[in-house]
Amino acid sequence: MNTSSAASNVRLSLTRFAWLSIAAAIITISLKSVAYMLTGSVGLLSDAVESIINLVGAMMALWMLTIAARPADEVHHFGHSKAEYFSSIFEGILILIAAAGIAFTAIERIFNPVPLEQIGLGVVISILGSGVNFVVARVLMVAGKRNNSITLEADSQHLMADVWTSVGVILGIGLIAMTGWTRLDPIVAIIVAVNIVWTGVGLVRRSVDGLMDSALPDEEREAIEKVMNKYTQKKVEFHALRTRQAASKRFLTVHMLVPGEWTVHDAHHVAEDFEGEIRAVLGDAVISTHLEPVEDQISMDDIHES
């Protein structure tokens, strides 16, 4: 099995986490819908609606992870990893739509408050659903960071936003039970809507940055520079460093200026060693090095690109 096929199989294995997210969404939708029907709380309704968004987002994540796992082909020479960004953008937009729906319902309930019923049982059921989301969110976050999957990280962030939403709703219902002021319920729902708008905007912004080929994060570029500094002691200079990230894949191009007296064989081996050390730092990276003689002034013509 070649390296590309092995990497594709690893990415495809991540779909099991999307299936886990789908199962969690179905469970929480059921629990929170029951809690809403028992209490009549618009806050719990907002919680149930967000769980529906979780389900749709998880299904989109499954689809995009499957596409992202495909190896490079004649049409997509750099693979399909950017498909993951479509999933996180889609999920971010769904979050914003859900927030608008929650706010609309809550505003109407402010003017027409409805007394809540069976608060205790409804809260217990909601807590169970939140517990499911919390456990699955942690599993997805660990898997996302370990495998550099923005799709799993986005799904995890969405589930954690759902958890905090539930916490806010439960606190609001508790205050209603103590004070009897039913307008607290829609007010909490509006606060929930604002919170998930923040999450949705963050997901969309991060995904757009990826689609626009933003450079690698500062800490990763600093790690690259540390490796480059080691090679300057071997009479190697660098310039025109460019980086970008496509979901799980990182791309790096750099010009290596080596002594003209070196043979192609020697220079090539130094470049291979350099690329190996960069991969040890970045993981799954596509690296292109361009060898140039350090004594030749032409090698400096594109120095402004670095």
Is the model more confident about 301 or about 121? 121
Would you place residue 268 in the very low, low, confident or very high pLDDT band (cuts 50, 70, 90)? very high
Taking the C-alpha atoms of residue 97 and residue 118, their distance in angstroms, rounded to an integer, is 29
pLDDT tens digits for 275-300? 999 988 887 788 989 998 888 776 66
DSSP secondary-structure letter at 217? P
Would you place residue 156 in the very low, low, confident or very high pLDDT band (cuts 50, 70, 90)? confident
CB-neighbour burial class of residue 2 (10 A; exposed 0-12, middle 13-18, buried 19+): exposed
pLDDT tens digits for 185-227? 778 778 877 877 887 888 788 788 777 777 888 888 899 999 9
Is residue 296 within 8 Å of residue 261, measured between CB atoms?
no
Would you place residue 272 in the very low, low, confident or very high pLDDT band (cuts 50, 70, 90)? very high
Look at residue 17 in the predicted model and tell me its pLDDT: 86
Q: Which CATH class for the 218-305 domain?
A: alpha beta
Is residue 147 within 8 Å of residue 61, measured between CB atoms?
no
What architecture does CATH give domain 3-211? Up-down Bundle (1.20)
User: Sign of torsion, CA 216 251 159 143?
Assistant: negative
Would you place residue 303 in the very low, low, confident or very high pLDDT band (cuts 50, 70, 90)? low
Question: At 290, phi and psi to the nearest 5?
Answer: -110, 115
Within 10 angstroms of residue 206's Cβ, the number of other Cβ atoms is 18
pLDDT tens digits for 37-51? 877 776 677 667 777
Taking the C-alpha atoms of residue 169 and residue 94, their distance in angstroms, rounded to an integer, is 20
Q: Is the pLDDT of residue 305 over 60?
A: no
Structure tokens at 242: 């460019």
Taking the C-alpha atoms of residue 120 and residue 117, their distance in angstroms, rounded to an integer, is 9
Angle at 230 between CA 226 and CA 234, to 5 degrees: 155
Q: How many residues does the chain have?
A: 306
Taking the C-alpha atoms of residue 245 and residue 243, their distance in angstroms, rounded to an integer, is 7
**Average pLDDT value over all residues in the chain:** 80
Taking the C-alpha atoms of residue 180 and residue 73, their distance in angstroms, rounded to an integer, is 63
Within 10 angstroms of residue 88's Cβ, the number of other Cβ atoms is 30
Look at residue 306 in the predicted model and tell me its pLDDT: 45
Would you place residue 163 in the very low, low, confident or very high pLDDT band (cuts 50, 70, 90)? confident
Domain ranges across the chain: 3-211, 218-305
Angle at 117 between CA 112 and CA 123, to 5 degrees: 110
For residue 165, give every residue at least 6 positions away whose Cβ sits within 8 Å of its Cβ, in sequence order, or none. Answer: 46, 47, 50, 192, 195, 196
Query: Averaged over 22-49, what is the pLDDT?
Result: 80
Is the model more confident about 219 or about 112? 219
User: Sign of torsion, CA 126 128 134 139?
Assistant: negative
Q: Is the pLDDT of residue 139 over 50?
A: yes
Highest average pLDDT, of 146-150, 169-173, 198-202, 255-259, comes from 255-259
Query: Averaged over 227-253, what is the pLDDT?
Result: 85
Would the pTM of this model clear 0.95, i.e. be above it? no
User: Sign of torsion, CA 89 95 100 101?
Assistant: positive
